[in-house]
Amino acid sequence: MERKVETAWCPGCGNFAIRDCLEKAFAELPIPANRIVMTSGIGQAAKMPHYLEVNYFNGLHGRSLPLATGIKLARPDLSVIAYSGDGCMYGEGGNHFLHAIRRRLDITILVSDNQVYALTKGQSSPTTDPGVVNDLSPQGSLNASLNPLALAITLGAPFVARGFAGDKGHLTELIKEAILFKGTALVDILQPCVSFNKINTYAWYRERVFKLEAPLADRHEALRTAELWGERIPIGVIYRDDRASCREIKEIFRREAPPDQIACQADMTCVMMR
């Protein structure tokens, strides 16, 4: 396909494969293109919507979720996708990640997880494995890593999945399923970074990933599966709960206040004006 825009990604970046999957998913979904909107923060991954034919709002670092929340509150008819890298979503945006899931809105969260802050030249990110040596942590990354899937399950997210940029057919289906899911859906995507992560390469993942046959409905079992990392890494829908309801926007407005009395705080928490 002919591209109109040149990307800032390195040749071989996992984001190219993820972009292909998003394009295919958008083309195949029964949702008109003008009903889909993406939000993103800052980083190489956050440039994803720039390179797609999609409506988008590119905000500050870590702020893709407040933007998505605001858009969803104002326009519940739109399919809203918050996109970013692991640093932006789980680091700078970590607080928003926690509370966006608690709000139970119908938003899709997609993350290019390369286990590194790539745009700023490879610092350890929240998902960097402890002990990993990089240019900026020559003695090895000191912190424990954050497991976004286990965290999302713990917070009660009703759809929690992991994809792999090296399996485009599987990832495309995951993205479509997450967008169609009615409720907060997370897909953390294993995205090899050819420049700043020489450990978690395509080959490294290919030796370890295995596909889950079906989503788990039991949260505790899902949590145990989400915690698998290292020798065996599950991909697919880890947890799916179709009984969990997402909050209808009109319900929020009707129960809590008429729309003209609603204000949004800086973190997009809806509050009633007194």
Distances from the Cα of 87 to the Cαs of 32, 93, 223, in angstroms? 31, 8, 22
For residue 116, the minimal CB distance to ligand TPP (Å) is 6
Give the span between the Cα atoms of 156 and 258, in whole angstroms. Answer: 28
Distances from the Cα of 225 to the Cαs of 44, 58, 76, 149, 238, in angstroms? 29, 33, 33, 10, 7
Nearer to ligand TPP, 85 or 192 (CB): 85
Name the residue with the smallest CB distance to ligand TPP: 85
Give the span between the Cα atoms of 268 and 271, in whole angstroms. Answer: 9
Subset of 54-73 contacting ligand TPP (CB under 6 A): 61
Residue 99 CB burial class (10 angstroms; 0-12, 13-18, ≥19) = middle
Contact residue for ligand TPP among 51, 92, 148, 205 (CB under 6 A): 92
Give the span between the Cα atoms of 58 and 42, in whole angstroms. Answer: 8
For residue 241, the minimal CB distance to ligand TPP (Å) is 28
Q: Which stretch binds ligand TPP (CB under 6 A): 17-25, 28-36, 84-92, 161-169?
A: 84-92
String of contacts with ligand TPP for each residue 112-151, x by CB under 6 A: x-x-xxxxx----x--------------------------
> Do the strands 36-40 and 55-58 form a parallel or antiparallel pair, or are they unpaired?
parallel
Query: Total number of residues binding ligand TPP (CB under 6 A)?
Result: 19
Q: What is the token pair recorded at 167? A: 């399996």
Q: Which stretch binds ligand TPP (CB under 6 A): 82-90, 172-180, 207-215, 254-262?
A: 82-90
Nearer to ligand TPP, 124 or 225 (CB): 124
84 φ, ψ (degrees, to nearest 5)? -175, -175
Q: Which stretch binds ligand TPP (CB under 6 A): 39-47, 144-152, 250-258, 260-268?
A: 39-47
Examine residue 42 and tell whether it contacts ligand TPP (CB under 6 A): yes
Rounded (10°) angle between helices 14-28 and 168-180: 50
SS3 of 172, please? helix
For residue 56, the minimal CB distance to ligand TPP (Å) is 16
Examine residue 241 and tell whether it contacts ligand TPP (CB under 6 A): no
List contacts with ligand TPP (CB under 6 A).
Answer: 42-45, 61, 84-88, 92, 112, 114, 116-120, 125
